[in-house]
Each structure stands twice: as C-alpha cells, then as structure tokens.
Structure 1
Amino acid sequence: MAQSSHQVWEDFFKRYYWESILDLANHYPEKRSMFVEFSDIARYDMELANELLEHPDSALAHANETLVRIDLPADVEFTNTHVRIIKLPERVQIRELRSVHINKFIAVSGLIRKATEVRPKIINAAFRCQRCEHVTVVHQSEGKFIEPYECEDEMCGRKGPFKLVHEESEFVDAQKLRVQESPDDLRGGEQPQTLDVDVDDDLAGIVAPGDRVVVTGILRSYQRSTQQGKSTFFDLVLDGVSIEIEDKEFEDIEISKEEIEEILDLGKDPQVYSKVIHSIAPSIYGYDEVKEAMALQLFSGMPKSLPDGTRIRGDIHILLVGDPGVAKSQLLRYGVRLAPRGIYTSGKSSTSAGLTATAVKDEFGEGRWTLEAGALVLADMGLACVDELDKMESDDRSSMHEAMEQQTISIAKAGIMATLKSRCALLGAANPKFGRFDRYEPIAKQINMPPALMSRFDLIFILTDEPSVSRDTAIAEHILKAHYAGQLSIRRDNIINSGITLDEITSAMEVIQPVIQSGMLRKYIAYTKRNIFPIIQDDARKQLIDFYLGLRKQGEDPNSPVPVTARQLEALIRLAEASARVRLSNIITKEDTDRVIRIVMASLKQVMTDPETGRLDADIINVGMGKSQRDRIKVLKEIIRKLEGEYKSAVPLGDIISKAEESGIKKDTVEDMIQKLKTVGEVLEVTNERFKVV
C-alpha cells in the first residue's frame, strides 16, 4: 500500500511524466501547470488514487511539493508550479452534490454561466510594524483577511499598528466562475442548478460564459452568515484544480483513423445526400425538402473575413411556418441533438435578455455588474432553435436582428459596453397568425412577423396540413410502425421472458432508424468543417449569376415588383458551399448549384409570390407589402382625396367602395386597406363610416 508521500509521487513522476516535466521546464514560467491523467495514477497504484479522492488536500500538497523539489537537468528551478489532475472517471451531477462529497476530490461538468474579472488575490501578506519597522508575513487562507496578533520581533512584541507592504506581499490571479448543469442532462421541467467555482493562477481567465467545461476540484463548504448571526446552513464552493473545455465547437470532436476512413467512403457514395436526409428525424414522415435544408444548415457555408474587416456569415438561417401538429417542434429538437452546441428555447418563455445577454448584479460578494450569457451566446458556433417565434414580444424579437446578420450581440447596460459573439445558425418555427393557414389568403399576410426579421432568413418553408388519402395513409402507417417498435422494446425491457427477440425489435425499428447514426453524422459534419473549404467553379458561378439576373430582369419594368434582392444571392452561395461539403468536395459544381436553386426557388415561390400578379416580389418579405398592394393604396388615397374635394367634407364608405370598384379594386380589399390605413394614421374616420385623408 502506497501512502501519499514525496517519495511515492517522485517515483510516479519519473516513471510516467518525465517527458512532461522536461517540457514544463522548457516553457517555465509561461507554463506553470503539469496535467496528470487520473487513470495513470490508478495504473501506478490504486491506493494512491483512492487517497487522492478521499484526502485530496494532503495528496495534492505532496504532489505539488514533489514537483517543486524534483531535480531537473536544466538550470531551471520550479517555484510556483501546479499538478493538475484531469479525466476523473466519474463525474458528479451538480444537483447530486451531498454532504458526503465535502472535502473530497470530484469532477463536475456543465456550462459556464458567469465569470468575474480576473483579479489579484493576496496569499502571503507582509505587515510592517509601525513602531519597530519589523516585517511579519502572514499566510492568508480562504475567507477573511488575517492580520498579525502581535509583532514577531522579541524586542517589540506590541500589538500594532501594522501596515500592509504591497511590494513584499505575494499575490496570485484569481477568478470566480458559476457553472450551470448542462441542459442536455436535465429531465423535463427541472430548473438547472449552479455551483460556484474558485480558480486561481493560470486557470484564471481561460474560460468565457457559454463554454462547456469539466471542472475537477475539492468541494469546500462555507458557513452562511445572516444579519442575525451565523447560520447552520453551509454553501458549497468547488476549489478548482483543473478545467477541461469540452465540446467547444465541431472542431473539438475527436475522430479516430477508422472513422475518417468511414467518412471518406461515405463521401464517395453517390447516395450520400439521401442518406444524410434520411438520417435527420427519421421518425417524422416526409418533409424531404425541409430535411435537406436542415442538413445544409448543419454543414453550413464558410464564414469569410475580408481584408477591409468585414465579416460575411456562413451560417444558414431557416424558418419553418406551419399549421399546428405538423411536427415543427420535433424537427427543431432533432436539430439540437445533431448540432455540437444546440440550444432549444421557446418564444413565449424567452425575453430579449434571455436570448442575448443580461447585466446582473454580481452575488459573488463585490456587488459588481456582470454579464450573464443568453441562449444565442451559449449557442455560439452551434445551432439555436427558437420555437414559437410568433408568440414573442416584438421588443424581444428585435434583439435577434443583429445576432442573425452581424452574428454579434452588443450590450450597453449598467456601465458595461460589450460585444458578445453569437456565430450560430438559427432554426425558427412559427405558427400562422390565426393558428392555421387560410388557403385563400396570401401567405405572407398570415405570418405574424416583422419584415426586417423575415428578410434575414435564408430559407422559409411553409408546412400546411392538407388532408390527402395517399399521404395520410403513409403518415398513419409510419406513426403506428414507430409506436409498435417502441412498444416492443419497452415490453422486452420490462417483462422477463417476454418472448420478444432482438431481431424482431431491430426489424421493427428499421423504419425509424437513421441511415447514418447521429454520433457518426456529427463526426461527419465535424470532419467537413475542419477539412473541406470548397471553391466555386466558373460554370457554377455563371449559373448562379444567370439565375439571379434572370429573376432580377423581371423587375426592370418600372411597373414590376423587385423579384429578389442580393440577400437571396448570398443565401444561394452559402447553401452551395454546404452542398459541396456534404459530398466532401473542394469544388462547387453545377450539381450543387442545381440543388440549391431548386431549394431556394421552392422557398421563394411559397413565400414571395404575389397572389394577384403571380410574380415574385421581394417586398412581400422585406417590406411586408407587395408592390401591387402599394399601388392599390396609392389609388385608394387618390380616390378619397378627389371625393373629399367634391363633398368638401369626409367621404362615406359606400362612395369610396363604388369608386374603387370602377378602378378594379374589390370591395373586401377596400375595407381591408382602409382598416390598415386607419391603423397607421394615414386615414381618419371623422364620424361613423366617413373618412378623410390626413
């Protein structure tokens, strides 16, 4: 049995970590930490590993002292180095921390919710006696600042006064973090719990709000003090020993050699597109176009930083608008599971502060204002799914404009001026204004969203629920098969000798089984983001330009609407880059441009077609009103003005309608337009159903 001692640790270091110690000596003092994997300690001696877990203070003190004392071949002397233990086999959930864990060595994982500024903390304070000038050094432990009781000089021995000497005191960088348990581990309806972490020296300042981390450390407890005195309740604080940043973005996913070979084989497969599409939400029937768009969103285009400092986003934003019960939320949930940092939030329960960031008074003791990251910041380099977008308050919705186009969030609150990054793709879902689509009304009119926000989405899909025997039969069969597969597996798990074989379950599950498993698909996406940076070929570029110009030409006549804007062209380029990445291709070919033109045209036809002229009109989304509607409003105002001149007073509604019908405007449309003009204050209702232009 190896009791922790300097001799044991020295033997361990020399046997397992001699290379690391030499590397540390080469980079000291810039690098002051040596990372030791717990599995190596367990392999060396299980007793030592257990002692580290049960009595971490003494074991870590021995390890750190041994590292400082160790004989080095180079002329380097360690004075302030740390042994940082990483990769503990078991992690404790924050909500499962109990009194048995106090003073034990544990690892917790979660999201950094809040981080204070890095500030110096005094560890050895030097005091000068004001009477005899003798300097006394007092080691400062956690908590209260300790002053010497009396002067150490035997000739003096008085009880002060003392003055702190900054030059001779020893300081170390320190920071407080708040870690919140990861949303993925929560059961429904639970509120995520938090834990405060104290870190110092080279661990301070390495993480930012939104990072997913595993923090290893010693759990301490501090007594709460109230106005009535000390409380019997204690607060938990983790004394951080090491921080591992995990799952930061796609780039950090580890891929083995065998997996790379599998990925390359997949890329060569001519069926790769249908395989990827059928791996997204296989339990939902149909929606191939939407799933294809979601696949391209996950692969994403390339963000570009231009020489003049402009940044062009590579992320693709998609909006799904549809009737109730068409599985919009399910699609969003699946997207969150595939993305490396997926955050799901629902519009009704999200405020602008919860989406972007909020300034809060720091409860860490100093009462300073600090920033707390919201959903769009936490989803940086990932995917943010916002359900029920139409139910959000309009003020809260406006906070998303900057996050979607510039991919930053600017905060000016409580004296904090900050710009946070939110480089995430947005997948939104919304219901029509009256709950369900009216097939006789123009679609744009039924989407209750401001044009400024709508125009920032690269693709908008309308999902309507129209009964049709063949489609409904297929959906019903699909749903029942999925439920049947679920019933079989539950029965097998819960009833002994149920007689259900694994083969039966496997064959029943085939319907809802993704072609590429979600773990593999994540690695496939990660590989493309790391290694595939496609460049457009001349013929593909020409095709995109011709397509764009062909659409724009429709708007050359002064009386025609503007069919598309440059925003749609940028969307085409982003989608084409993502399409090439799916094939692991470094060049964008006509195959890619054909595909994205098909997807974009399907989206444009659904949303931007003027029902009266049948032409594409970008203003329906960008302005909220098509050109034909604007022209009719102009005509209507002119009619009211003329009649006002004849009547020398307000004009009755009946006369306006009969005049408008002569100009070819229907009665319903007139009433609708007058209501709109009244709302914006262009027309006044003087008395009952008598109007005048303002």
Structure 2
Amino acid sequence: MANYDKRDYTKEKEKLVDFLSTFYYEADDGGKVFPYADQIQRLANREQVALYINLEDVHTHDPELVDSIQENARRYHALFADAVDQLIRETIGDREPPVRDALDAFIYQRVYMAKQQGKNVDGSLPINDDLRKQYPPQLMRRFEAYFKPRDDIKSMAVRDVKAEHVGKLVTVSGVIIRSTEVKPMTSVITYTCDTCGCETYQPVNGPSFMPAINCPSKDCTESGANGRLHMQVRGSKFVKFQEIRIQELSDHVPVGSIPRSLTVTICGENTRLAAPGDQVDITGVFLPLLKTGFKQMAGGLLSEVFLEAHHIENKNKSDDDELGADEELTDEEAAIVAQPNFYDLLAYSIAPEIYGHTDIKKSLLLALVGGVDKNAVGMKIRGSINVIMMGDPGVAKSQLLTHIDRLATRSQYTTGRGSSGVGLTAAVMRDPLTGELTLEGGALVLADRGICCIDEFDKMMEGDRTAIHEVMEQQTISIAKAGIMTTLNARVSILAAANPAFGRYNPKRSVEQNIQLPAALLSRFDLLWLMQDKPNAENDKRLAEHITYVHMMGHEPEKKGMKPLDMRLIRRYVAMCKRKHPTMPESLTDRIVQMYVELRKDARNNKDTTFTSPRTLLAVVRMSTALARLRLGDAVEQPDVDEAIRLMESSKASLRPDYEAYQKATSPVDQMFAHLRDLLHSLPADDDERAIPMKEAIKKSINKGLGEEVLKECLDVYTSTGILFVDRNDRIVFTMN
C-alpha cells in the first residue's frame, strides 16, 4: 500500500537534488560516470532539450522514492523540474546562456529593466533571484523532464487501467490507430495592458483556457481604468503537441468484447516517435480531462480520461532491432542457410500445414522479399510483387493469406466486402481536438513498405476496387478531397484471394468468363494463380493423409527430411535480403526478350488466355531480382531468370484447365517437336537456310523441362521419317515447313 502520510516536499526536493548531483555508476575502466550531472551541464549549455529520468537509477539510489514517484507522478514531476532549475542556476550563475532565442531576449530585457529601476546607492545592480521569480517557471525553462519506467515493469492492457490509477505512473500497451499533426500548444501566455503597459502572465495547464481580458495590475485597479490586455506572441511560450489514440491488442480482448481505446497526449521531444499501425508501450500519468464552461455540465459526474505520455517504446515487429537483422547469423543458422535446397525449404516453411501448392508458396515468398525499386528521372518502376490466387472453395487460399499476414514484418489483413475504397486508401476526418479536417490513412497506407492481404477480392464493389489501381502500379495514393490535395506513399505488395464468378471454376466457360475481373486490374498482378479442386484418387489420398496427420499430431509431417524453419529466422533472413539491391546484367537481356516474345505469340494464337502486356516483362524482372535477393547476391544470374520464367509459365498454365490433360496425352517427344517448330518459326523471314543451331535446341529443351535426352530421341524419331535432319554444321534442318 502507498504511504499517504503528510510529506515535507521541501525535503523531498532535497532528495531529488541529491540524486541528480551525486548518482553515478562505474564505467568499464573503473572510473565514475555521473549521467545526470553531465546531462544537466548539457541542459545549461542548451545542447540538450529532454532529460529522461530512469526510475531504475532512482530505485538503485532510493527504493522508497520510486514508490512515491509512481503514486504521485504529477507532483514529483514538478519537483524534479524545480530541482533541475536549481542545479542549472548553480551551474551557469549569472552568465547569459550560450544560445539565446527571442524569448531569452524578451526576458533578459525585462530583468535588466527591473534591475536598473532598483539600483543600489553606489550604482551597482542587485543580484537577486526574486526578479526571476516574478515570471512563471514554465516561461523560464528551456528543458523538458520525463520519467523512464523500470525494466521489470509489465505493461497493462487498456481495459485494466481503472479509477485507482488516476494520478499514477502507468505503462499501457496498444496499437496506434490515429495520430494528429504536431501543432504548437500554449504553455504560457504573455499579455500587455494597453493603458498602464504592465505585463501579465497566464500559465495554461489544460487543452483549453479562458483568455484574460482585464488588467489585474495595481495601477489599473486603483484608478479604475479597466485596461484591456493584448496577447504578445513574442513573449509567450509554446510547446510541440500531438494527440494519438491507442487501441488494445487483439490478445488482450476477452471473448465477445469490443477493443477499448485510450487517448494519449504527447508533448515536446516525444512527438513523432511512432506512427499509426505501430505497436507501442507508453508510460505516462493517467489523468482526468479538465473541462471548462458549459462542457462541465454535459457529462455530470463523469470525466474523460487521458494518458500524459512520458516515455514511448516502439514494439512494432517491423523494427530491425527487434528482428535482429543487424546481428550475424549463428553457426547453426548459417548452416541452414548454406543448404543447397534452402529456397525450397523457405517455400516449404510457408504454411507447412497446407498440403501442396509449392509454386504458389514460392511466389508468396518472392512477394515477401520483393524486387528492387527503380527511380529513374521522371519515371518510377515499382519493385513490389502483386499476387492473386483465384480458385474453388476449400483450397486454402485464406489460410495462405493469414500465414503471410503473421509472417510479414509489416502487414494489414482485410476482406473485400468488409472494406471500402476509403478504408483501403485514405479518409478525410474531422479532428475532434481542433475541429479541422485531417487525412487518415487506410489499410494500404498503414501497410507501407509491407504487405496488404485482401481476402474475398471478388466480393468488393467495383467502385471500391478501382481505388487500388493507382496503388498497384504507381505505389501512391492521390487525394483531392475537402480542400486537401496531397499524395500518400503506399509502397505495398498486394496479395489477393478470390473465387471464380460462379463460385467454382466452370471449365465449359472461357477464362475471362470465369474470372470476370477487368484487364486493367489483372495486368497489375504479376502472377495470377488458378487453384482448382479436381478429383484425383492419388492426390485426394495424399491430401486426406496429410490433413488427418495434422489433426492427430498437431503439426505437419516432415517432407523428405525437411523441417519447417522458425518464423523468427524467416523474418530475420527476409530483412537481410531486403538490404540487397542486385542489378540486372546485359547478358540476360536476350533471354528475357525471347520469353516475352513467346508469351505474346501464345496469347495471340490462343484466344482463351489472359491479357499479356509489357507489365508481364517487368514482372519477370522483379521476380528475378527477388530471387537474387533470396540468395543474397549482388547481381541477377541465369538460374534466377529461368526460375522466374518457370513461375510465370506455371502461372499461365494454371489458367488453362485442359493444359495438364494435353501434357499427359502428348508424349515428351511430340512436345519437343512442337517446341522445335516454334523455334523454326521464330527465325528471321530472310533466312533462306531455315536451320536451328543445336545449342539453341538444347537450351530450349532444358528451359521447357524436357532435357537433352528427349531432344536426341526426338531427332532420331523424326530423322527416320524424313521430316528433319542434322547437317554437318550441327544444325537442325527441316525438309518441310
């Protein structure tokens, strides 16, 4: 229980002065370090503004003093400020401060004039602190004092802060859901009388105040002049002020309850330390809100409360310090990373309880890492990778999204029907504190430099869906509402999941009829996966065995000796990958150009396919750089491009429902012959010989996953029929076109 006996605060102040001037700790070299004495010297020299008083140090010096501070924080905060004032005066004496501002010049002039009027008989100036005591202490101070909590203090949930905590120092955890602009708040108002010239000072301790009108000086009172007071901005003092609102964490909310929120006021050097979407621990004084005028009658006996912040600790999981991205990998982690199948192991570690979908997991891994942004003069090319998964119900689309949401260092999860265009981009809100119109970012803005997962993408209203077109390509949100015209950054990768237009994919209809999404939107997705639930006895058996194993054992079965990686290790490795900026060498240009030309030709010949645009070419470049990042390389190599092209072709193949049946019905030899015919038609028209170099044919067979053995078998079969032959220059020549 707290000690509520009558205290002598003069002695308490002496304790604080003793702590600030005598507390020390021993350095590594055996010397004594006086942290607070050094900071007070810097405060006196105007080299430092904020003084953070660590309650752990106070506990080491005097354990009982810490309890008093936590029980009566507001009073002890004022005592600490007075103690620092006293020590600063002892440090600098009557010397002028080394750095002077307009307020210093104003006060110095007033003090000098008062001293001149009170000269001694011999003409000397009296040295008297009473002259400075005529001014409010807030006006004279150029420092800020804050309490830093002890290391063993556990943070509280918002709903656990109750009436008994009013006036006490508490630590509350939550997520910032709203933040205002930093504005100047009045600390001390200086008035000048238009009749007698007397100056009056009015300290402001709340969010609102009643300005003084009549002059309270002795001259105006006795003469009955009733002089009017006019505010002097130059002689007044203002401090930085920001108001945020925190909401309790999801794991603090009981079942069936609504998350509670709390208003936090921040002043001075603590402003702009956190942004909306950040998870924070805030230490401050829990206080009731002082209301003036008729507002006192509105709530009756009820009072609004707020937290006056002293210390803000950002606990956001995107913080590199929390991830340990700067730390070196341990020997065990380095051995895991050095495995030749580490790329497959990373993909397997994404939602390992979900059976199959290996290529889709690899594409989600690339979206986590992202490509490299290109900011050329007058043009910006995004590096983030957008992926959409469309498929039948029950194929684990939502499970993949929720796992990525937990795995990503900065992410937002939303659904199509539960999101509006304003909620995704930005909304114009009226600030309850100032009454001004302010801009509040939506899910895409909060997920800046992260991932936004949108489930039930097909259920979104068409007007809301068009709001994200700009975000997916330009990575910005342009706003022109209510007189606010600005551009917000939304450098975000979008992962979307949707069902086909008829609930399930109908193979009797075309791809466009099944998807029913505009081409302008589909072209902005780098990869479009169609996940079908096709009856297959062998696959159904393996899937059922996998699901029953997960339900019985509580974890996924090991696959070929692969064990899923820890989520923290994946986050650290992804953070390390994002620090790399690999470049694309010119030697890989021909390979990418050839791939793009073939895709365009397939789209032209096959009517039942998706729209192929130059954005497809950029998608391959982005995935290639993401793969180079995954192996911590400084340049993109041929295997990176080949894997990116393979994922692109696999994505395109998933959109053709008869593709697998066609592949099974056609032998590898016939497939190789079809690829050779494609190579022949891609030769220049003015080439009379119409011959394919053997090296090109081998490269084609490897890229298509057939191999050199299938090419040799194809040449043997079709040479015997007289359709083609190999000449002396090791070239394949067709006898007929």
- Give me the TM-score of the superposition, normalised by structure 2: 0.72
What pairs with 1:186-201 in structure 2 (closer than 5 Å)? 191-201=258-268
Whether 2:451 is the aligned partner of 1:360: answer no
Query: Matched residues in 2 for 1:267 and 1:226: separation?
Result: 63
- Where do residues 23-422 of structure 1 align in structure 2 (5 Å cutoff)? 29=46, 31-35=48-52, 37-68=54-85, 69-70=87-88, 79-86=141-148, 89-147=153-211, 151=215, 153-157=217-221, 161-182=228-249, 191-222=258-289, 229-247=298-316, 249=318, 251=320, 253-255=322-324, 257=327, 259=329, 263-306=333-376, 308-364=377-433, 366-422=434-490
Separation (CA, whole Å) in 2 of partners of 1:188 and 1:407: 37
Kept in 1, the 8 Å contact 2:323–2:568? The answer is: no
Distance 1:302 1:53 in 2: 49
CA 1:66 to 1:510, structure 2 compared with 1: closer, same or farther past 3 Å? farther
Name the amino acid aligned to 2:543: I
Instruction: Confirm or deny: 8 A CA contact 2:245 2:262 kept in the other structure.
Output: yes
Q: Deviations over 1:612-638 (max 9, x none)?
A: xx9xxxxxxxxxxxxxxxxxxxxxxxx
Partner of 1:642: none
Distance change >3 Å, CA 52–CA 598, structure 1 → 2: farther
Contact 1:356-1:409 at 8 Å conserved across structures: yes
User: Aligned partners of 1:429 and 1:317: how far apart in 2?
Assistant: 11
In 2: Cα distance, 1:562 partner to 1:292 partner: 21
- 2:351 and 2:403 in contact (8 A); partners too: yes
1:9 to 10, 19, 27: 19
Q: Per-residue deviation at 1:94? A: 2.3
% identical equivalent positions: 32
Larger Rg: 2
Which residue of structure 1 aligns with residue 575 of structure 2?
526
Structure 1 stretches of 5 or more lacking a match?
487-507, 615-694
Deviation at 1:181, TM superposition (A): 3.5
| Structure 1 counterpart of 2:504, from 423, 433, 436 | 436
- The residue type equivalent to 2:307 in the other structure is L
Match of 1:578 in 2: 626
Contact kept? 2:189, 2:237, Cα under 8 Å: yes
More relative contact order, 1 or 2 (CA 8 Å, 6+ apart)? 1
C-alpha contact (below 8 Å) 1:357/1:372 kept by paired residues: yes
Q: How far apart in 1 are the matches of 2:613 and 2:308? A: 55
SS at match of 2:528: strand
Query: What TM-score does the superposition give when structure 1 sets the normalisation length?
Result: 0.76
Give the match's secondary structure for 1:109: strand
Q: Secondary structure at the match of 1:274?
A: helix
Change (3 A) 1:558 1:436: closer
Map 1:526-605 to 2 at 5 A: 526-530=575-579, 532-552=580-600, 564-605=612-653
Q: Does the 8 Å CA contact 1:263/1:524 hold for their aligned counterparts?
A: no
Indicate how the Cα distance of structure 1 residues 610 and 13 shifts in structure 2: closer, same or farther if over 3 A, else same.
farther
Distance 1:287 1:402, change over 3 A: same
> 1: distance between equivalents of 2:426 and 2:357?
34
Secondary structure of 2:615's counterpart equals: helix
> CA contact under 8 A between 2:171 and 2:284: conserved in structure 1?
yes
Is the contact between residue 523 and residue 611 of structure 2 (CA under 8 Å) also seen in structure 1? no
> RMSD value over aligned CA atoms?
3.6
| Gap regions ≥5 residues in structure 2 | 4-10, 27-32, 100-139, 663-737
Task: Note the alpha carbon deviations across 1:45-99, whole angstroms, 9 max, x for none.
Answer: 5434333332222333344444452576998589422234446532222233321
Amino acid in the other structure paired with 1:57: R
Q: Distance in 2 between matches of 1:142 and 1:410?
A: 37
Given the superposition, is the C-alpha separation of residues 549 and 448 from structure 1 closer, same or farther in structure 2, using an over 3 Å criterion?
closer
SS at match of 1:316: coil
Equivalent position SS for 2:552: helix
- Counterpart CA distance in 1 for 2:211 and 2:604 is 82
Letter in 2 for 1:526: A
Does the 8 A contact of 2:173 with 2:281 survive in 1?
yes
Q: How has the CA–CA distance of structure 1 residues 122 and 430 changed in structure 2, closer, same or farther, with 3 Å as cutoff?
A: same
**SS in structure 2 at match of 1:232:** coil
1:392-418 Cα distance to aligned partner (Å, 9 max, x none): 100000001011111111111111112
Contact 1:554/1:560 (CA < 8 Å) preserved in 2? no
Task: Provide the C-alpha distance between the structure 2 equivalents of 1:346 and 1:561, rounded to a whole number of angstroms.
Answer: 27
* SS, match of residue 453 in structure 2: strand
| 1:610 Cα deviation from its structure 2 partner | 11
Q: What count of residue pairs does the alignment treat as equivalent?
A: 589
Shift of 1:465: 0.8
Q: Separation in 1 of the partners of 2:388 and 2:607? A: 30
For 1:249 and 1:91, locate their aligned partners in 2 and report how far apart those are by CA, in whole Å.
Answer: 20
